[in-house]
């Protein structure tokens, strides 16, 4: 049995940033990851990270208020505005922090951190390291943790381990059970605090930019242990992925000035009312929908895909700022992006929903926290702006680590858990042994593929009641067939038949929450687009969807959105002008505006409503 004060599940940017905070406070911590941390999906983030640094000024100077306003507007007004303000206020501080740790951001001629425009933003506020920003940030953070851990040894890595169960008693964390993939043995970890930072759920879709590890299992573990999921129906589809492989082609390409073209070389986004103003840097949900509309009109190249054209940017700029795009296009599409357009299509990219947490990353289970894409604070609402996901990982990863450390300093540790851990381990071992004994003829690999295809076909970019209910019925049939999955290979070391069966069971739980939330949200908002309910309905659906686990399926309820800064408007495209906050003197929101970064808001802060812009 292992004993740790805190356990972090997931080794990407959010998990590593939480680990840094815990190690810095000399808290004995375990970090458990299915892969080595520097192989985490954070590596795949290309375009950049948002912060109102104001390094590339055009007209009025940028500031955190404008960043918050663009984020609220981009969320289609269902993001919690106190959390968004907190993230945007802290953004410059966290960017300069990781820069001082050694992150090699691209630079302006004056030596400042370079910034580029991204979709839905009124200013060029996306800092970047060419088009490998996630890679640069992940390696920088990992190096800093290793440097700090070299001195005090408070952090232990468990690489290629797989968490199967979260142990909860009396609504508080008592430990976890994890499978060592290398040996096939289950081990209990006794702990008082756990942070889930396992990323998104993209692999429940057949077309996704996500790594194979992004199955949603981390969310499913917390979900079955009693934590709620929030806003799972909001799934983001990225407009530009390589046709066929769905490898991401960064939004940074469009931010630098690349065009989207149809089969006659026309910039077709000008033909749609909601994208004709911002064109290629309109919000992702709008661009993705209009690309599908253009394909359905018969205007696709070879009736299959559209073109992303970088050629007008010139070889020098493309080579300097988008070297990763050149490499990906050459290796995976056989295209020279300097002289040829790139074939692209929309695909699933990001999960706006996640484990329901408050502004301090706390769940309703004492000692359980979540951060990054696995969590829903909610700072993205119905549609995430490009560049805000990397920002979320370092802002709320830090906050999760701080909150867990504060919790651990206050609780009284109890030693009567030995029986509880032994009982949980016996139960989990029996469950695994029962899976090994199955002799059914179904394949977990095949069922996972069928599930992901059904999700793409029925709960994709365009949705309606008939498709959604058909998708739910398909999922129920797949869930039943899981009981007939047989494991042919009986060995324990790296048994991927067992591994993918466990992943599949968790993914089905998450997919069910996505579908049921989508069925009940009878409106269109952000990435959730219902052809049978094409308008946004603030009167009935300006609220968060909450999914609670039950063996019979997800039980849905709702909670209010935290407003108080921007009044919801009818359209994304209202004035970007930011007014001086009209807030009562001495109010929490006025203090937030006046306070230096980083700023910590109190939980459930009531913010007065601002004037419509």
pLDDT in tens, 372-406: 999 999 999 999 988 999 999 999 999 999 999 99
pLDDT band (50, 70, 90) for residue 415: low
d(CA 59, CA 42): 33
Residue 606 pLDDT exceeds 80: no
Give the model's confidence band at 96: pLDDT under 50 very low, under 70 low, under 90 confident, else very high. very high
Higher pLDDT, 403 or 256: 403
Residue 538 sits in a domain whose CATH number is 1.20.58.100
> Would you say residue 540 lies in a domain?
yes
Q: Are 71 and 118 in contact (CB under 8 A)?
A: no
The last residue of a domain, from among 326, 348, 370 = 348
Tell me, yes or no, if 254 is annotated catalytic: yes
The pLDDT of residue 256 is: 87
Alpha carbons 4 and 307: distance in angstroms, whole number: 51
pLDDT at 203: 95
* Mean pLDDT across 515-524: 96
pLDDT in the model for residue 571: 54
- Structural domain includes residue 538: yes
Give the tens place of pLDDT for each residue, 432-461. 999 998 888 899 999 999 999 999 999 999
Query: What CATH number corresponds to the domain at position 262?
Result: 3.90.700.10
Instruction: Taking residues 508-515, report their average pLDDT.
Output: 96
E strand map for 334-404: 342-351, 354-356, 368-370, 375-376
29/13 Cα distance (integer angstroms): 16
Look at residue 565 and tell me whether its pLDDT is greater than 90. Answer: no
What is the per-residue pLDDT for 577?
34
What pLDDT is recorded for position 414?
60
Convert 20-48 to b/e letters by CB count within 10 Å (16 or more is b). Answer: bbbbbbebbbbbbbbbebbbbbbbbbbbb
Task: Report the percent of the chain where pLDDT is more than 70.
Answer: 92
Q: Which two tokens stand for residue 67?
A: 């960043």
Domains held by the chain: number:
2
Q: Which of 94, 203, 238, 362 is catalytic?
A: 238
CB of 42 closer than 8 Å to CB of 12: yes
- Chain position carrying tokens 């048994």: 495
**Domain end among 318, 348, 378:** 348
Q: Are strands 29-33 and 6-9 parallel, antiparallel or unpaired?
A: parallel
Mean pLDDT over all residues of the chain?
A: 88
**pLDDT at residue 559 tops 80:** yes
Between CA 397 and CA 377 the distance in angstroms is 12
Q: Which pLDDT belongs to residue 118?
A: 81
Q: Rounded mean pLDDT of 79-104? A: 95
Segment holding 342, helix H or strand E: strand 342-351
Q: Which of 135, 190, 254, 349 is catalytic?
A: 254
Q: Kindly state whether residues 342 and 248 are assigned to the same domain.
A: yes
Give per-residue pLDDT as tens, 337-377.
999 999 999 999 999 999 999 999 999 999 999 999 999 99
Last residue of a domain, one of 348, 373, 388: 348
In a domain, 304, yes or no: yes
Angstrom distance (rounded) from CA 80 to CA 351: 16
Predicted confidence band at 587 (pLDDT cuts at 50, 70, 90)?
A: very low
The range of the structural domain enclosing residue 320 comes to: 238-348
């Amino acid at each position: 049995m292992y004993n740790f004060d805190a356990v972090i599940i997931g080794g990407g940017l959010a998990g590593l940033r939480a680990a840094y905070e815990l190690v810095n406070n000399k808290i004995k911590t375990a970090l458990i990851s299915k892969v080595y941390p520097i192989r985490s999906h954070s590596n795949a983030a290309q375009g950049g990270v948002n912060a109102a640094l104001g390094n590339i000024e055009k007209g009025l100077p940028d500031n955190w208020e404008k960043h918050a306003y663009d984020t609220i507007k981009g969320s289609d007004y269902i993001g919690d505005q106190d959390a968004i303000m907190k993230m945007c206020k802290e953004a410059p501080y966290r960017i300069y922090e990781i820069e001082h740790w050694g992150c090699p951001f691209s630079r302006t001629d004056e030596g400042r951190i370079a910034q580029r425009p991204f979709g839905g933003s009124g200013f060029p506020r996306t800092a970047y390291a060419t088009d490998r920003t996630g890679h640069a940030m992940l390696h920088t953070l990992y190096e800093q943790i290793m440097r700090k851990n070299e001195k005090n040894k408070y952090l232990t890595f468990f690489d290629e381990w797989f968490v199967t169960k979260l142990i909860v008693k009396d609504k508080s964390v008592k430990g976890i059970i994890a499978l060592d993939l290398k040996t096939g043995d289950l081990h209990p970890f006794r702990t008082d605090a756990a942070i889930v930072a396992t990323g998104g759920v993209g692999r429940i879709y057949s077309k996704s930019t996500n790594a194979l590890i992004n199955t949603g299992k981390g969310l499913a573990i917390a979900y079955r242990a009693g934590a709620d999921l929030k806003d799972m129906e909001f799934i983001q589809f990225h407009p530009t992925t390589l046709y066929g492989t769905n490898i991401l082609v960064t939004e940074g390409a469009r931010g630098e000035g690349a065009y989207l073209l149809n089969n006659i070389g026309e910039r077709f986004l000008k033909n749609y009312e909601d994208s004709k103003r911002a064109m290629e840097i309109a919000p992702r949900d709008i661009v993705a929908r209009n690309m599908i509309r253009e394909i359905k009109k018969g205007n696709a190249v070879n009736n299959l895909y559209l073109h992303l054209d970088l050629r007008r940017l010139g070889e020098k700029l493309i080579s300097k700022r988008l070297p990763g795009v050149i490499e990906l296009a050459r290796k995976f599409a056989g295209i020279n992006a300097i002289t040829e357009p790139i074939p692209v299509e929309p695909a699933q990219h990001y999960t706006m929903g996640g484990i329901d947490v408050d502004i301090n990353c706390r769940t309703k289970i004492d000692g359980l926290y979540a951060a990054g894409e696995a969590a829903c604070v909610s700072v993205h609402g119905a549609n995430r702006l490009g560049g805000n996901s990397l920002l979320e990982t370092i802002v709320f990863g830090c906050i999760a680590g701080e909150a867990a450390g504060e919790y651990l300093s206050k609780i009284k540790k109890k030693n009567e858990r030995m029986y509880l851990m032994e009982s949980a381990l016996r139960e989990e071992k029996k469950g695994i042994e029962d899976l090994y004994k199955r002799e059914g003829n179904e394949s977990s690999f095949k069922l996972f593929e069928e599930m992901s295809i059904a999700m793409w076909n029925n709960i994709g970019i365009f949705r309606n009641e008939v498709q959604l209910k058909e998708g739910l019925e398909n999922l129920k049939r797949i869930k039943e067939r899981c009981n007939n999955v047989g494991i042919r290979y009986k060995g324990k070391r790296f048994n991927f038949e067992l591994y993918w069966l466990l992943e599949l069971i968790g993914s089905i739980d998450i997919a069910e929450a996505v579908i049921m939330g989508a069925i009940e949200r009878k409106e269109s908002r952000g990435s959730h687009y219902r052809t049978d309910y094409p308008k946004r309905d603030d009167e009935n659906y300006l609220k968060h969807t909450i999914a609670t686990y039950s063996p019979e399926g997800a039980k849905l309820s709702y909670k209010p959105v935290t407003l108080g800064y921007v009044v919801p408007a009818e359209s994304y495209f209202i004035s970007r002008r930011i007014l001086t906050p009209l807030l009562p003197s001495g109010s929490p929101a006025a203090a937030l505006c006046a306070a230096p970064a980083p700023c910590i808001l109190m939980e459930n802060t009531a913010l007065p409503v601002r004037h419509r812009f």
